[in-house]
């Protein structure tokens, strides 16, 4: 237990009793109800897959392109049918509910602008959709796509448009290891452009990349704290079947899997949350790997158990998001040498 003043100082009502500002809490505060996500595969690809940059994908990326829950599509009509069917699948427990259309699989701004416009509008025009969330890469946001996003924001002022950028790491060696394929300056330029359009950005960060220390991860948190980042997904590194990372794992499991047990992961995760800017929305604190693909760490398959352990441990420690935010001891040590 740290001390009572610190324990009492997080906004329990705003955060709905959790020791951090979760997406669920934000949505309940904003809409007065739970909002459900429909994960979508819009049939797009990725420059790390189609040969523009590489054909192998990021080292951890499964064949479904980080969206193993959805089926591939190829036209706005098929997209509409899949969206409606995804929504119907949730409907039995969510009568009258609102949804987020989550463009999840592959790179969802990488395609003909006319196609992108058609699929985004399918979702935005649906009365039950509160907004859309578009997962993409910072090197796939050309002027035409930014202009489209600006127009959609004007056309649908009562709906939100979020962008999700898979940064994963700020350490140059790690970016090369995972074959990310763009520089940190590219990420910063994309973030600035989206910020200029007042589009909220969610950044994905992977915890447990081989060779990364706790100091490396906290440097990434410190770096993101200083940027116009609205939300963050903290994602445990999963080793999935049919990935290059899985081959490396079988050669040397200890080197590739940083968290053979849950406790070590919780220790790092709690440090990240303690150092995180208190107003940043935490969209994810672990991961949702399909059980059929997950090789390691297997304990992460019990997502409910991980979340319960996180909440229990943070409560026992009397800690919460941002408790150490004002400690400016962390030094951001990526920089101009970052070139890929
Ligand atoms: S950028 Fe995303 S979709 Fe493309 S290979 Fe990497 S993880 Fe997969």
> pLDDT digit string (tens) for 218-277?
999 999 999 999 999 999 999 999 999 999 999 999 999 999 899 999 999 999 999 999
57 touches ligand 1 (CB under 6 Å): yes
- Structural domain includes residue 107: yes
> Would the CB of 234 count as within 6 Å of ligand 1?
no
- The answer to whether residues 243 and 59 touch, using CB atoms and an 8 Å cutoff, is yes
Asked if residue 40 belongs to a domain, the reply is yes
Closest by Cα among 90, 160, 92 to 124: 160
Q: Ligand 1 pocket, 165 CB below 6 A?
A: no
Q: How many domains does the chain have?
A: 1
CA separation for the pair 195, 192 (Å, rounded): 5
325 in any annotated domain:
no
Q: Cβ(66) to ligand 1 under 6 A?
A: yes
Length of the chain counted residue by residue:
340
Give the span between the Cα atoms of 328 and 217, in whole angstroms.
15
**Any atom of ligand 1 within 6 Å of the Cβ of 182:** no
Q: How confident is the model at residue 338 (pLDDT cuts 50, 70, 90)?
A: very low
Nearest CA to ligand 1 atom 5: 57
Question: Is a pLDDT exceeding 90 seen at residue 86?
Answer: no
Q: Considering the domain boundaries, does residue 320 fall inside one? A: no
Q: Does 222 sit behind a cis peptide bond, omega within 30 degrees of 0 on the bond before it?
A: no
Is the CB of residue 166 below 6 angstroms from any atom belonging to ligand 1?
yes
d(C-alpha 292, C-alpha 146), whole Å:
37
Q: Is 109 in the pocket of ligand 1 (CB under 6 A)?
A: no
Q: Give the DSSP letter of residue 71.
A: -
* Maximum CA extent, the chain: 57
pLDDT bin (cut points 50, 70, 90) of residue 331 is very low
Check residue 279 and give its pLDDT.
96
Closest to 205 (Cα-Cα) out of 228, 181, 185, 180: 180
Strand partners, 204: 233
- Cα 325 to Cα 5, 14, 22, 225: the distances in Å are 16, 18, 17, 9
Provide the pLDDT for residue 3: 47
Smallest CA separation from ligand 1 atom 6, residue: 58
pTM for the predicted model, two decimal places: 0.92
Could you tell me the pLDDT band of residue 97, with boundaries at 50, 70 and 90? confident
Angle 178-295-57 (CA atoms, 0-180°, nearest 5)? Answer: 30
Best mean pLDDT range from 56-70, 93-107, 143-157: 143-157
Look up the domain containing 109 and give its range: 34-199
Which atom, in ligand 1's list, is nearest to the CA of 179? 6
Q: Does some domain include residue 322?
A: no
Q: Counting atoms of ligand 1 from 1, which one is nearest the CA of 107?
A: 3
Q: What DSSP state is assigned to residue 120?
A: H
Query: What mean pLDDT, rounded, does the chain reach?
Result: 90
Report the nearest-CA residue for atom 2 of ligand 1: 106
327 falls in which pLDDT band (50, 70, 90)?
A: low
Report the nearest atom of ligand 1 relative to the CA of 57: 5
Pocket perturbation via mutation, ligand 1, pick of 43, 45, 105, 106 by most ligand atoms within 8 A of CB = 106
Weakest mean pLDDT among 85-99, 170-184, 240-254 = 85-99
Say if CB 152 and CB 121 are below 8 A apart. yes
What is the atom index within ligand 1 of the atom nearest the CA of 67?
3
Residue 188 and residue 243 in contact, taking contact as beta carbons nearer than 8 Å? no
How far is the first Cα of the chain from the last one, in angstroms, to the nearest whole number?
A: 44
User: Per-residue pLDDT averaged across 279-304, rounded?
Assistant: 94
Closest-lying ligand 1 atom to the alpha carbon of residue 62 = 8
Any domain includes 86: yes
Q: Is 140 in the pocket of ligand 1 (CB under 6 A)?
A: no
- Look up residue 257 and give its two tokens: 């899997």
Residue 176 lies in a domain: yes
Query: For residue 316, is it within any domain?
Result: no
pLDDT class of 5 with cuts at 50, 70, 90: very low
pLDDT tier at 80, thresholds 50, 70, 90: confident
The three-point CA angle 172-173-179 to 5° equals: 90
Burial class, 23, CB count within 10 angstroms (exposed 0-12 / middle 13-18 / buried 19+): middle
């Amino acid at each position: 237990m740290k001390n009572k003043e610190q324990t009492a100082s997080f906004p329990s009502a705003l955060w709905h009793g959790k020791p951090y500002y979760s997406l669920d809490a934000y949505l309940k505060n904003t809409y007065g109800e739970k909002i459900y996500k429909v994960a979508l595969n819009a049939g797009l690809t990725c420059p790390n897959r189609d040969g523009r940059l590489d054909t192998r994908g990021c080292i951890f990326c499964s064949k479904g392109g980080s969206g193993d829950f959805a089926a591939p599509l190829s036209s706005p009509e098929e997209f509409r049918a899949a969206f409606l069917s995804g929504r119907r699948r949730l409907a039995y427990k969510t009568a009258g509910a609102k949804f987020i259309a989550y463009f999840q699989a592959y790179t969802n701004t990488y395609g003909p602008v006319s196609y992108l416009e058609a699929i985004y509008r399918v979702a935005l025009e649906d009365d039950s959709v509160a907004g859309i969330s578009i997962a993409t890469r910072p090197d796939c946001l050309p002027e035409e796509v930014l202009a489209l996003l600006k127009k959609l924001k004007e056309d649908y002022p009562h709906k939100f448009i979020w962008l999700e950028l898979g940064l994963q790491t700020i350490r140059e060696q790690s970016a090369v290891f995972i074959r990310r394929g763009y520089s940190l300056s590219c990420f910063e330029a994309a973030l600035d452009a989206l910020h200029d359009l007042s589009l909220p950005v969610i950044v994905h960060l992977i915890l447990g990349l081989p060779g990364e220390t706790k100091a490396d991860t906290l440097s990434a948190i410190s770096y993101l704290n200083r940027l116009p980042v609205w939300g963050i997904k903290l994602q445990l590194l999963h080793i999935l079947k049919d990935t290059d990372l899985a081959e490396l794992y079988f050669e040397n499991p200890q080197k590739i899997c940083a968290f053979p047990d849950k406790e070590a992961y919780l220790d790092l995760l709690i440090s990240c949350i303690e150092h995180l800017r208190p107003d940043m929305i935490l969209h994810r604190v672990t991961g949702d790997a399909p059980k059929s693909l997950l090789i390691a760490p297997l304990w992460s398959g019990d997502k409910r158990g991980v979340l319960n352990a996180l909440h229990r441990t943070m409560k026992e420690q009397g800690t919460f998001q941002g408790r150490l935010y004002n400690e400016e001891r962390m030094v951001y040590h990526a920089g101009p040498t970052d070139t890929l």
